[in-house]
Chains A and B, each alone.
Chain A
Amino acid sequence: MQLAYYPGCSWETSGREYDLSARLAGGKLGLEFIEIKDWNCCGSSAGHSTSRLLATALAARNLALAEKMGLDLTAPCASCYQRLALARHDLLADGQLRKQVNRITGHTFHGNMRVRSILEVVASLGGEHIAARVVKPLRNLKVAAYYGCLLVRPRAVQVDDPENPQMMEKIMAVAGAEVLAWSHKTECCGTSLAMNNDQLALPLVAGILEAASLSGADCIVCACPLCHFNLDYRQKKVNRVLGTGYQLPVFYFTQLLGVALGLEPGRLGLFDHFVNTKPVLQLVS
C-alpha cells in the first residue's frame, strides 16, 4: 500500500527514532511511504492557539500537496495527525471555509484524500498480516500502551475510543508482548507546557509514570514524539523533584514492532533514548 508520508518537524531531531522505525517497520509490513515534497509544518499547538484560520491553512497546504500525489496521507506524529485530520474535517464540512483557505494557500484542496495516523494504518493491516511477519516475538515483555490525547480526541478525528483505546494493545499482542490494563493511557502528558512551564507538567508526567509502574509494566509504548520526550527525558527530573525512582523505558510502538519483525535494534534507534533501554531489551533477546 502506498501512502503520502508527512514526517513532521521532529523527524530529524527529538522524534528521530519514530521516523526511522516507522519507515523500517512499515517497509517490513508492505507499506510504501512516499514523502510529500515540500511539506510545511502543521503549526502544532502554537498554530491553533494563535489562530484557528492559520492552523487550518498551514495544514491545508499539506493536504493539497498529498491530494496532488493521488494518495492518502499518513503521519507518525500524533499532533501532526490531529492537525491535518481536523483541518480536512473542517474544510470538508464548510465549503466557504474551503474556498477561503484555498485562496490563502494558493493550492486547491478538493477533499479527495484521507488523513490516517500510522497507528491506524498498521492496525488496519490486521492481526494475521502482522503475525505472519513476526519473527522475534516480544516474549516476557509487559507493556503499558500510552495514547495521550491527540490520537483519540476530539471525536471528529479519533482513531479509537477516547477513554479506553485498544489499537496499540492489539498490535503489541500480535508482536508477542503482554499488554496490561492500566488507568492513564489517555491522560495528558502536559504537551508543550512542559517546555514553557515545566513545573506545571511534571505532576502530569509523574502521574502517568506512577500508573504504568503500578500496573507492573516493564516499559511504556507510545505513538507521539512529544509524549515520548516528556515521559522519557523528564523521567529523571520527576525522580529528582518528587523523590521517585522510575526507570521505565519509553518506546514508540513502531520500534517494538520493528524488533518483533526482525529489524536490528540499533537501526530502530532503540539505544538513543534518555532512560536506559538495555535491561528491558534483554528480556526479549
Chain B
Amino acid sequence: MNLSAPSNRECLIALVNNESGQQVEKCYQCGKCTAGCPVSYAFDLMPNQVIRLIQLGMKEQVLSCRSIWLCASCAVCTARCPRNIDLAAVMDSLRGMARREGVAATGRGHNVFLFNKNFLQSIKKYGRLFELATMLSFNLKSGRPFREADAGLAMLQRGKLKFSVTRTRGQAEVARIFERVAAVESGAGKCN
C-alpha cells in the first residue's frame, strides 16, 4: 500500500480547486448558499451538499447529480458565501469535469447539456450565435419540435427573427480556439 499517494478524497478536492480557483475545504456548511439559491427547489443535492460531497471525495455522486446542470449561474451563493467560495465557479468546473469524464446528464439536466452543446456548435461554425437555427436544432434534438413556436411567430412579426447570421470574418480563428482548448483539456487530470 502506497501511503504517500493522494486518496480519492484529496485528489477530487485538488482537481476541483485547481479548475475553479477555489478552496472548497474552507466550507463550514452554514447553508447560506442553499438558502439563497433560486433553483434549489428543483435540485436533488443542495448546493452545500454538493460542496460537502466534494470534501468527502464522493466524485460519482457529485458528477451525476442533477443540480450541477440546473444551476442557473446566478451566483447568489457566491455573493453571500461567508467563506468567500465562488460556488458558481465550482459548479462550472463540475459540469466541465462531468463532460470530460463522460458522465451523462439525465432528465432535465440533459436538456441543459443539449442546449449548451447546440449553442457552442453555432459559435464554432459562425463565430456568433445563430439564434433561430440554434433553437430549432435544440427543439428537434430534445424531442419538442414546436417548443416556443409562438415566440418565433411573435418575433417574426416584430422583425426580430433573422434567417441568417452575420458571420464574423474571424470565424476560422474562433474555430481554432475551440480546437486548441480541446487539445489542452485532453490532458486534464482525472481522479478515480
Q: A192-B115, A272-B160, A274-B154 are in contact. Are A53 and B181 (CB under 8 A)?
A: yes
Residue on B with the closest CB to A38?
Answer: B170
A104 to B178, CA, bound (A): 9
Q: Which residues in B have their C-beta under 8 angstroms from that of A282?
A: none
Among the listed B70, B89, B120, which residue makes an inter-chain contact with A200, where contact means beta carbons less than 8 Å apart? B70
Give per-residue flags for A204-231: 1 if the beta carbon is below 8 A from chain B beta carbons, else 0.
1000000000000000000000000000
Chain A residues with Cβ below 8 Å from B171 are 40
Asked if A58 and B70 make an inter-chain contact with CB atoms under 8 angstroms apart, the answer reads: no
- CB closest residue in chain B, given A149: B74
Q: Quick one: closest B residue to A191, CB to CB?
A: B72
Per-residue contact bits, chain A 137-173, to B (CB 8 Å; 1 contact, 0 not): 0000000000001101111001000110000000000
What residues of B have a CB within 8 angstroms of the CB of A162 in the complex?
79
Cα A208 to Cα B85 in complex, Å, equals 27
Do the beta carbons of B142 and A196 come within 8 Å of each other?
yes
A10 touches B138 (CB 8 A): no
Is B190 part of the contact surface with A, judged by Cβ < 8 Å? no
Q: Is the CB of B115 within 8 A of A13?
A: no
Q: Mark A223-257, 1 if CB is under 8 A from B, else 0.
A: 00000000001000000000000000000000000
Chain B CB within 8 A of A31 CB = no
How far, in Å, is A188 (CB) from chain B's closest CB? 4
- A114 is an interface residue with CB less than 8 A from chain B: no
- Residues on B with C-beta less than 8 A from A13 are 131-132, 155, 160-162
User: Is B26 interfacial (CB 8 A cutoff)?
Assistant: no
A103 within 8 A of B: yes
Residues in B with CB closer than 8 Å to A38 are 168-170
Closest chain-B Cβ to A183's Cβ sits at a distance in Å of 13
Q: Mark B91-129, 1 if CB is under 8 A from A, else 0.
A: 011011001000000001001101111011011000111
- Interface flags, A178-193, vs B, CB<8A=1, else 0: 0000000001101111
Q: Which A residues lie within 8 Å of B21 (CB)? A: 90
**B185 → chain A closest CB, angstroms:** 6
Tell me if B27 is interfacial: C-beta within 8 Å of chain A: no
Is A155 a contact of B79 with CB atoms below 8 Å? yes
The yes or no answer to A51 lying at the interface (CB within 8 A) is yes
Complex: A155 Cα to B88 Cα, angstroms? 12
What B residues does A272 contact at CB under 8 A?
Answer: 158-160
> A46–B108 contact, CB under 8 A?
no
Task: Say yes or no: B73 contacts A49, CB within 8 Å.
Answer: yes
The answer to whether A193 and B70 have CB atoms under 8 Å apart is yes
B residues with CB within 8 A of A: 19-21, 38-39, 41-42, 70, 72-76, 78-79, 86, 88-89, 92-93, 95-96, 99, 108, 111-112, 114-117, 119-120, 122-123, 127-129, 131-132, 135, 138, 142, 147-148, 151, 154-155, 158-162, 166, 168-171, 173-174, 176-178, 180-181, 184-185
Chosen A-B contacts, 9 in total, with CB atoms closer than 8 Å, are A10-B131, A37-B169, A46-B116, A50-B96, A50-B116, A154-B86, A197-B108, A204-B39, A272-B159
A residues lining the B interface (CB < 8 Å): 9-10, 12-14, 16, 37-41, 43-55, 57-58, 61, 90, 100, 103-106, 149-150, 152-155, 158, 162-163, 187-188, 190-193, 195-198, 200, 203-204, 233, 272, 274
| 17 extra A-B contacts, CB within 8 A, seeds A105-B173, A200-B39 | A14-B131, A41-B123, A41-B174, A46-B116, A49-B73, A51-B99, A51-B181, A53-B184, A100-B184, A150-B75, A153-B75, A154-B88, A190-B72, A195-B115, A196-B112, A196-B138, A196-B142
